[in-house]
Structure 1
Amino acid sequence: MRAYIVGNVAIDETIAVSELPVIGASILGNAGGSDLGGKGTNQAVVMARCGVPTTLVAPIGRDGRADSIRRYLADEPLRSELIEMDGASSDVSIIFRLPGGENAIVTTTESAQSLSLSHVRRILSTARPGDLMMLQGNLSDQTTRDILEHARAIGMVTAFNPSPVRSYFSDLWHLIDIAFLNKGEAQALTGTTSEDAAQYLLGRGLREIVLTLGGDGATLVNRNGSIDVPARACDVVDTTGAGDTFMAAALASCALRDQRLDRLAIEHAAAAAAITVSRHGTRKAFPTISELEAILR
């Protein structure tokens, strides 16, 4: 099984602040460093470090940020297909990190929104039935729909993280097998943050739903019932990339054991995410290959 992640890649610039600015205010902050990021790329990096054959398809511009992106990805055990978008700048994320480790993120999507199925069709020609397609909310509505439909036609398993939340997601559920949502995403898309959110999505054709609840753990829901898994105790310093780590580690656990999502996969994901939130940064905070081997063995 190969995982194909079609999504965004960005350079993350972190600023540590004591509080978020209000409209019209200027505040002081401390530089928190630069790193590789973007939800699609985060998920691909963790998936590949878990030992799953991984292809990342991501759009970039022709600029200095693109050069940095290539250098970062050269260090990762994945196949990267970076597509240069004419006239677009490589995307960047500005991360405001609060003292308790929580964050607020603003991401540009000039490159991500320019990507279309025509750009990735050749790359997906190597995909086979049973391979995994992972998508997030950074691409345009038409491209997201087209890629999901293309993946379904191939016979791939489709996994979706509806973040950032977009209004058109409600029209996509019939194309998705697995969804990972946090409390805010569940509330925005279903009107509830409880297990009712998962039942709503099951009713729209999804096979499995994972609700991530931060310090309260996570809940896996399928047609056989629900499984609650507590969060791992840890000192939280930076939550950037935690959800991406969780999703990738859970799906990798299943792929490596040739199983559907189960309690063990969610436990593996919780352990991996606990490592990510205990460190500052994005890619550099993710569990290492050896750490993931220890979790997944």
Structure 2
Amino acid sequence: MPRSAEVVVVGSINVDQVVTTDRLPLPGETLIGTSMTLLPGGKGANQAVAAARRGAATTMVGAVGDDVHAEAALPLLVASGVDVGRVGVAAGPTGLAVVTVGSDSENTIVVVPGANASVDEEAVARHSEVVSGAAVVVLQGEIPVSGIERAARLATGRLVLNLAPVVAVSAEVVRLADPLVLNEHEGRLLLEMIAPDAAGRLAGRESSDSSTGASSSDASSAGADTADAAVVAELRALGTASVVLTRGAAGALVSDASGSWSVPSPRVRAVDSSGAGDAFVGALSAALASGSSLLEAAQEAVRVGAYSVTTAGTQPSYPGLDDDLPGTDEQVTAIEVTA
């Protein structure tokens, strides 16, 4: 069918209120902060910005509140070329993340969903035409489950399901993902939630590897590779067409019907890793929309994610097509994933 947009992101839009202090306050204690900054955020908005900056015609479906914070939530989406005509206005506050950062880089975060809580099944259904017409639909876990599941079922193009955070979606919706994108911790949490037998097998395998020394300090990297490949195998065994397991500085594991690979990440000097996962997902989605294979898209996405950590902030750190992405001398390697 004709596609009305290359990438449609259905997800959260937040404002991040970042307060820096010399140290984190104790319970009941009042401290004087050293700075306060309002920054655009939310996993949905971050991924939409990342996709648009990598050249995809991108539409955002979500909501902001009718408060003053809405003005701070949207400018980078608009400046990046994202179509925000499907962003509604809900009575009440815009989604807000209150972040306190100490001088030792430790932080506390409190997220108030605000208008994001209105992006439910009914709200998504109002945009069924644009969702069903997308080449790639991108979802995360920061809107109501009913909204996630409705968007997943409306999608006729490729569904990129990034369950971050892990929320209680049905196994049926997980099986619609192509790919399912999770980090290693989220992968285990999802298995515990919808496939306890698989989670038990995984735990038993990891316990056995530990007892035989497979995860000792002199083989920790190989042990982690094996453990993460096992997570991918169990996720594929759920009936999911493809899985991408993100691993931070270690890159990503990619598995679909054509094979499974370990994709290394470039080595860079990290300044701020916040939002790197969203940069990866947005870039992956843009590459898939352009016709790249999943492996090719992941190779692009790890470079975009690495680029993003070299600059402070989330959305402002995402590269455009004219920016030089870091490269790596390491090669993609085929891996075996067996449940």
Q: TM-score range by the shorter chain?
A: 0.7 to 0.9
Helix, strand or coil: the match of 1:269? Answer: helix
Distance 1:103 1:231 in 2: 26
Q: 2:144 matched to which residue of 1? A: 140
Q: 1:207 matched to which residue of 2? A: 241
Contact 2:40–2:74 (CA<8 Å) still a contact in 1? no
Contact 1:180–1:212 (CA<8 Å) still a contact in 2? yes
Helix, strand or coil: the match of 2:37? Answer: strand
Cα 1:67–1:146 change in 2 (3 A) is same
Q: What is the Cα deviation at residue 166 of structure 1?
A: 1.8
Helix, strand or coil: the match of 1:131? Answer: strand
Can you list the C-alpha shifts for 1:121-149, whole angstroms capped at 9, x where unaligned? 34331455661110000111122112211
Can you list the C-alpha shifts for 1:258-278, whole angstroms capped at 9, x where unaligned? 13301x322211111111111
Q: Which amino acid aligns with 1:166?
A: V
Greater Rg by CA: 2
Residue from 212, 228, 241 that aligns with 2:275 = 241
Q: 2:292 matched to which residue of 1? A: 259
Contact 1:103–1:240 (CA<8 Å) still a contact in 2? no
Distance 1:292 1:54 in 2: 22
Distance 2:186 2:281 in 1: 14
Residue from 315, 319, 323 that aligns with 1:291 = 323
Q: What is the Cα deviation at residue 225 of structure 1?
A: 3.0
Contact 1:59–1:83 (CA<8 Å) still a contact in 2? yes
Q: 1:188 matched to which residue of 2? A: 189
Residue from 299, 303, 307 that aligns with 1:271 = 303
Distance 1:188 1:104 in 2: 22
Q: 2:128 matched to which residue of 1? A: 124
Q: Does residue 174 of structure 1 match 2:179?
A: no
Consecutive unaligned residues of structure 1, counting only runs of 5 or more, are none
Aligned length: 289
Residue from 232, 237, 240 that aligns with 2:266 = 232
Distance 1:236 1:100 in 2: 16
Bigger shift: residues 229-238 or 28-37: 28-37
Helix, strand or coil: the match of 1:172? Answer: helix
Contact 1:202–1:223 (CA<8 Å) still a contact in 2? no
Distance 1:145 1:128 in 2: 13
Q: What is the Cα deviation at residue 25 of structure 1?
A: 6.1
Contact 1:9–1:59 (CA<8 Å) still a contact in 2? yes
Q: 1:156 matched to which residue of 2? A: 157
Distance 1:230 1:83 in 2: 39
**TM-score, normalization by structure 1:** 0.86
The sequence identity of aligned pairs, in percent, is: 26
Contact 2:7–2:134 (CA<8 Å) still a contact in 1? no
Q: What is the Cα deviation at residue 66 of structure 1?
A: 1.1
Q: Does residue 67 of structure 1 match 2:71?
A: yes
Contact 2:22–2:33 (CA<8 Å) still a contact in 1? yes
Cα 1:26–1:269 change in 2 (3 A) is farther
**TM-score, normalization by structure 2:** 0.76
Q: 1:44 matched to which residue of 2? A: 48
Cα 1:96–1:265 change in 2 (3 A) is farther
Consecutive unaligned residues of structure 2, counting only runs of 5 or more, are 192-198, 203-226, 328-339
**Cα root mean square deviation, aligned:** 2.7
Q: What is the Cα deviation at residue 21 of structure 1?
A: 5.9
